[in-house]
Structure formats: C-alpha cells, structure tokens
C-alpha cells in the first residue's frame, strides 16, 4: 500500500497511513503487560475491606449497603479540585495567565474483585459500571461551574495505570478544551447543512461500507475509523441515542455495554491482551449536545510517538484501518 494521507471527518485531523514502515528493524515490543493478579490484595485501596485506604466515598451501588458492587471515590491525587481559594492570576505586563484548576476528579471502582477483567464482566455487571458512570456524570453536570465531563479507563502499565484493580476515572472541567470546541464546531456546521448529527452519519456510512466495521447492534456500531489517530484504534459509537449520556436509559446502556465488551474482546484476542485506554467522549454542557453524540474511543497502546509525530503533530500509522478491522472481526469469530 502506498502511503496516503487520510482526513477524519469528525475531528478534522489528518493522519498518514504507511504500512511499509512496519518492516523497520528493531521495533520496540509494546505487547500487553498482563500479569497474574490475586482475587484480593490487602494493600489495594479499592478492594473490599480497605475502604479506609481510599479517599472520601461519593457513591456506591447498591446505595446504603455494606456489601457494594461499584463505588465512586474522590481521586486521592486530583488534577482538578472543587474548592479553590482565589481567582485567575494575570500579569498585565507579560503573556502569562493562570487560574485555579477548578473541577472534579473521581475514581469509579468497577467491581469488588481485584483480578477481574472488563471482558469477563457479565451483562449485568457491565450495566452496573455504566449506571455508575451515568450517576457520576449527572452529579458533575448538575454543578453549574462544570462545562465538560470526560470518563476514561487506563488498562495496563503502558496505558499509565498505577493501580491494577479495575477502575475508571471521571474528570469534570470548568472549561471546554480546545480540541472539543473544534469537534463541536464541525458537528454544528454539519448539522446546520444537513440536519443530522455528523457522528450519526459517519456511523451509518461505516455500517453501509463494512470495510472497517467490527460489529453492530440495533443502536451501536464498533468500527475502526477511516482516519484513526492510533494504530488499531476503535470507536464504539451510536446510530441513535439521547444526546446526553445521563439521559440514556438502562436498555440503551445494556446494549452499549454489550457492544463495548465485544469491542474490548476483539481487541484482547486480536492484539494478544495489549494495554489500552478508552475514553467516553461526551459533548460540552453548552446546550448544543444534540449536535455531538457521546461515544467511546478505544486506544491500544502499541506504539510511541517519535520525532516526526511530536514535531509535526501528524500521526503515522503502520496498520491500515481495513486490516485492523479484519483482524478484530477474526477475534470475534
């Protein structure tokens, strides 16, 4: 395949697809970092019985019960804080500007077991994880200081996970990140021209094409984007859903969870247990949510950015999205 430049219609990002570069000598090994974990770790702050080792509890399921199935706690090492003294600091004689990092940073503990993988969860357990996401998203969105909420999961050391107990994190920001603004602007422009959400149209196109499709359900599709930012990147995106994540009912979340687990199973089998991050992208809380539906981006951690990517800001991928999707489909058979 001759190297080609591809354009991502949702993000507006260009990438280079160059499979020939996979033949370079002495490429580093970025396979997964799976290790045998105990059912219970007495030093783990997320294991049952060790609740005093974690920060303040914010939520548990079931509510008020001593035996929990999911919990949410404040992040012990937060990047964002709710209570901040003072305001923005601007030096009128320089280009320096700083303000307090206002927001929320939480940990969502997905299961009592220390050693369980997401792909091993039952339908009901996956639903409870997503119900916990929904509850914590709603709590953050109810704060009038919050403008954007993101939920993410780091799986494995290559994905920068520091605790192996299954968990996700929620970050609620008092501002809308520049990249998110850009995606929203593109989505609003598309909806104004055609009346549909851009992401919905992309998903429908991927289903009709089938070249990069991994699997699909009534409401969701898992596929490798036409122009992904990472090798073997996958999206689990909706064909139609309520615009806000906290408006999704249990039936929608159940189907979403099944699609997500299938995507992660394809990743696990197709890439031999590689480490990954996933990010639940949600629209900014600006009253324009219907233009940019929520979806999950799954990012395998197999390659590192080098001088070209860091200097130019354009990613080079060595696996074509069509080849990646075929490998994922084989993993589900």
**Would you state the pLDDT for residue 31?**
58
Q: How far apart are CA 51 and CA 73, in angstroms?
A: 10
CATH class of 7-19+39-79+99-332: alpha beta
User: pTM for this structure?
Assistant: 0.93
Residue 24 has pLDDT above 90, yes or no: no
- pLDDT, the chain, mean: 92
d(CA 214, CA 259): 10
123-132 confidence digits (pLDDT tens): 999 999 999 9
Measuring CA to CA, how many Å separate 28 from each of 11, 22, 31, 55?
29, 11, 9, 37
Residue-wise pLDDT for 205-263, tens only, equals 999 999 999 999 999 999 999 999 999 999 999 998 888 999 999 999 999 999 999 99
Query: Quick one: which of 238, 254, 250, 6 has its CA closest to 126?
Result: 254
Residues 6+ apart with CB under 8 A from 50: 42, 43, 44
Let me know how many helices (H) and strands (E) the chain has, helices first: 6, 15
How far is Cα of residue 151 from the mean position of the Cα atoms in its chain?
A: 6
> Percent of the chain scored above 70 by pLDDT?
94
**Collapsed DSSP state (helix, strand, coil) of residue 75:** coil
Model confidence band, residue 183 (pLDDT cutoffs 50, 70, 90): very high
DSSP track, 201-249: HHHHHHHHH-SSEEEE-SSEEEE--SS-SSTT-EEEEESS--SSGGG--
Per domain, the residue ranges of the chain are 7-19+39-79+99-332
- List all residues 6 or more positions away from 65 whose beta carbon is below 8 Å from its beta carbon: none
């Amino acid at each position: 395949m001759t190297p080609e430049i591809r354009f991502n219609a949702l993000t507006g990002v260009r990438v280079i697809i160059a499979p020939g570069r996979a033949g370079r000598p002495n490429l580093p090994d970025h396979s997964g970092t799976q290790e045998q974990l105990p059912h219970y770790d007495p030093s783990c702050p997320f294991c049952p019985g060790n609740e005093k080792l974690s920060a303040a509890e914010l939520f548990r399921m079931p509510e008020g019960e001593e035996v929990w199935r999911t919990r949410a706690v404040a992040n012990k090492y937060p990047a964002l804080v709710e209570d901040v003294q003072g305001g923005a600091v601007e030096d009128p004689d320089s280009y320096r500007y700083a303000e307090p990092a206002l927001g929320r940073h939480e940990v969502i503990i997905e299961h009592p077991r220390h050693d369980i993988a997401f792909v091993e969860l039952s339908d009901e357990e996956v639903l409870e994880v997503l119900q916990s996401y929904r509850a914590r998203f709603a709590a953050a969105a109810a704060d009038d200081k919050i403008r954007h909420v993101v939920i993410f999961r780091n799986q494995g050391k290559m994905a920068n996970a520091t605790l192996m107990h299954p968990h996700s994190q929620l970050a609620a920001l008092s501002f809308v990140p520049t990249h998110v603004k850009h995606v929203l602007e593109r989505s609003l422009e598309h909806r104004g021209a055609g009346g549909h959400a851009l992401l919905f149209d992309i998903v429908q196109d991927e289903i009709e094409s089938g070249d990069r499709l991994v699997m699909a359900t009534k409401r969701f599709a898992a596929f490798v984007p036409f122009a992904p930012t990472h090798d073997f990147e996958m999206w689990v995106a909706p064909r139609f859903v309520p615009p806000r994540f906290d408006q999704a009912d249990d039936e929608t979340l159940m189907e979403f969870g099944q699609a997500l687990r299938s995507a992660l199973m394809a990743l696990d089998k197709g890439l031999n247990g590689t480490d990954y991050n996933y990010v639940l992208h949600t629209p900014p809380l600006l009253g324009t949510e219907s233009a940019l539906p929520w979806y999950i981006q799954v990012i395998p951690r197999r390659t590192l950015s080098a001088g070209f990517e860091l200097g130019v800001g354009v990613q080079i991928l060595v696996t074509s999205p069509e080849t990646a999707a075929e490998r994922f489909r084989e993993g589900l058979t």
